[in-house]
Every structure is written in structure tokens, then in C-alpha cells.
A and B are shown apart, each in its own frame.
Chain A
């Protein structure tokens, strides 16, 4: 008995066939495979040595997952029997990096808001600067309207710029 395709170990499977192969293998392992799918899997395996290699390795993975999962479950039972020891889920390095970036971003936003607030407070303390010309003082002056069509500058702003008191 010889392998059907001795052209064997090169990566010959095209992307689509590879995808299809994994879909069929998952259906096989999940025991949801139909007869039609099973025959398609058989055809791919007969035609491609690389597909048979993937098939063997994927089934090995499936079997080893069961072995490891059962051994974990037993270890967990032993730990439970030994006493309360709350398990802390390990955080993956990528998860830690993601959390670090998030926290850094939030802290940066907080600092930016704080700096903005301090700057605004500082500006408010310094301004407004006393107008240097009358036209400027007009542009800032609030209007007082005694009756419709009869508006005037407020008393404070009606004075000449030289009379205006700088805001403290």
C-alpha cells in the first residue's frame, strides 16, 4: 500500500480547498457532517497528501484537547478538595497591553481637561484687557434698551476709553 499522492509534503492546497477542508473537519469532529460533506472530505483526502497530513494533525489536536481538558478538570477537583483557593484568571500579554493603552488614553484625556480648565481660569483672570480705542469699547459694550427703538450704551461703557477702569 502506497500513499496516493507522493507529491506530498509541499504546500499544494489552494486557499479555498484549505478553508473547505477545515470546515469539513470541524463538521466531522462536531459530528454534524452530512453524507454529502463526508464524501467531499473523502475526495479531498484521496487527492491531496497535504490534506491527509492536516487531517491527522487536526484529529490529534482534538484528541489531545480532550486529554488535557480532562487532566485540568481533575486538577481543579483536587484543588477544590484541598481547600478554597479562588482561581484568578490569567491575563494574556495582549490583553494587558490593551488595558494599558486604554488606561493611558483615559489619563491623558483627564490631564488635558485639567490643563484646559487651569488655562481657561488663568485667561479669565487676565482678560478682558482694557480696550485701547473707543471703537473697540463700543464693540464690547452691552446695550441698554429702555423702550423699543430706544437703546443706548450702558452707563459704564458710555464713558471714554480713558475713563474706563481696567477690570481686576
Chain B
């Protein structure tokens, strides 16, 4: 049996919000809205593939809503959500028929449990990254926009620009590493 992908899009949440006027629904939506980026990041860190992460995230979102009645309101929502997500990741790797590269169980367990300060500083990272992006040169920003906003592959961009794909891969890697270092330095200073 393969892994089922649940297409739970934004409009579904809007409908859920409209339908749910009780306190439980409100509480769930508040918690989920606050943590959904981090939950996706957690899943992505385990499966390291965006499409797979999106599929799992959709299912986890639904499961969290279905199980929210059992959630202790005094507990940490994100930690609880990560537990649900981790089980789904394991299930995904077990049932997926696609031939994909996945980490061994030992590493998966380690990555899943080593959630530390980074989760807490996720918002700070986003803000610093926003500032760093504003400092990039025009051509660097254009490449990032094509890759990250428009979702174009490097091969596609290279073909359109008449350049070697490897050149653009190198350029993209340099930009990413530069941003990584700048974010680290900025956070260290703060």
C-alpha cells in the first residue's frame, strides 16, 4: 500500500475556521498557525525533499486536527506535533513504493530528537535572512527568485540563459553559503 497524500490546502483551513466556532477549533487554529512553518521545517529536515515533505505535512496537518482533542492544552504543541510528524515520516518511508534515498533509522532517530535552540530562533533567522537578502546584488537575487519563487530548475534556467548548468549551480551554492554565514554572524552578534 502506498502513502496517501491528503490535499489539505489553505482553503480547507479557511473552511475549517469558518465552520469551527467552538473553543477547541479556535485553539487548534491558533496553535497551528503559530507553528506550521516549524512543523514543515521539522519534516523537511527528516525527508530532505520538498515534495515528500509537502505530502507528509498535509497528512500531519489533518492528523493533528483529528487528534487535537487528546492534546493536553498545557503541553508544548510543537513537541506534540513533532511526535505525530515523526511517526508519519517513518510510515511514509515504510510504505512508499518510490525508490528514494533515505537516512538510516539511527540517524533519523537522532535528527528527530535533536531539536534544540534552532527551533526557538527560527523566527529570528527569518528576519535576519530577510535583511541579508536585501543586501544581495541584483543578479544574485534574480537567480534566487527564479529558483525559489518560480520553482524553475537550474537546468531550465541554464538553457534559457544559454549558460552551463554547472556554472549556475556553483553560483547558487555560493549565494546560499554566503547567506548562511551572514545569518550565523548576525545571530552571533545579537
Which A residues lie at the B interface, using CB under 8 A? Answer: 1-4, 22, 26, 28-33, 35, 38, 42, 45-46, 49, 52-53, 55-70, 72-73, 89-90, 92, 95
Which B residues lie at the A interface, using CB under 8 A? Answer: 37, 40-41, 44-45, 48-50, 101, 103-104, 106-107, 109-114, 118, 122, 125-126, 129-130, 133-138, 144-145, 147-150, 154, 169, 172-173, 176-177, 179-180, 183-184
Q: Does A59 contact B45, Cβ atoms closer than 8 Å? A: yes
Minimal beta-carbon separation of B167 from chain A (angstroms): 13
Please measure, in the bound complex, the distance between the C-alpha atom of A28 and the C-alpha atom of B169, giving whole angstroms.
12
Minimal beta-carbon separation of B132 from chain A (angstroms): 10
Please measure, in the bound complex, the distance between the C-alpha atom of A66 and the C-alpha atom of B176, giving whole angstroms.
12
Contacts of B111 in A (CB 8 A): 45, 52, 55-56
Contacts of A69 in B (CB 8 A): 144-145, 147-149
Q: Does B103 contact A42, Cβ atoms closer than 8 Å? A: yes
Give 20 new A-B contacts, CB below 8 A, not counting A42-B104, A60-B45: A1-B110, A1-B113, A3-B110, A26-B172, A30-B154, A45-B107, A46-B107, A49-B114, A52-B111, A53-B114, A56-B111, A56-B114, A60-B41, A60-B125, A61-B125, A66-B50, A67-B126, A69-B149, A73-B149, A90-B134
The 3 closest A-B pairs by CB, nearest first: A69-B148, A69-B149, A73-B149
Contacts of B169 in A (CB 8 A): 26, 30, 32
Instruction: Take A1-B109, A1-B110 as given contacts and tell me if A63 and B129 are in contact as well, using a CB distance cutoff of 8 Å.
Output: no
Contacts of B149 in A (CB 8 A): 66, 69-70, 72-73
Q: List 8 A-B contacts (CB under 8 A).
A: A33-B101, A35-B101, A42-B103, A45-B107, A59-B45, A60-B41, A65-B129, A66-B148
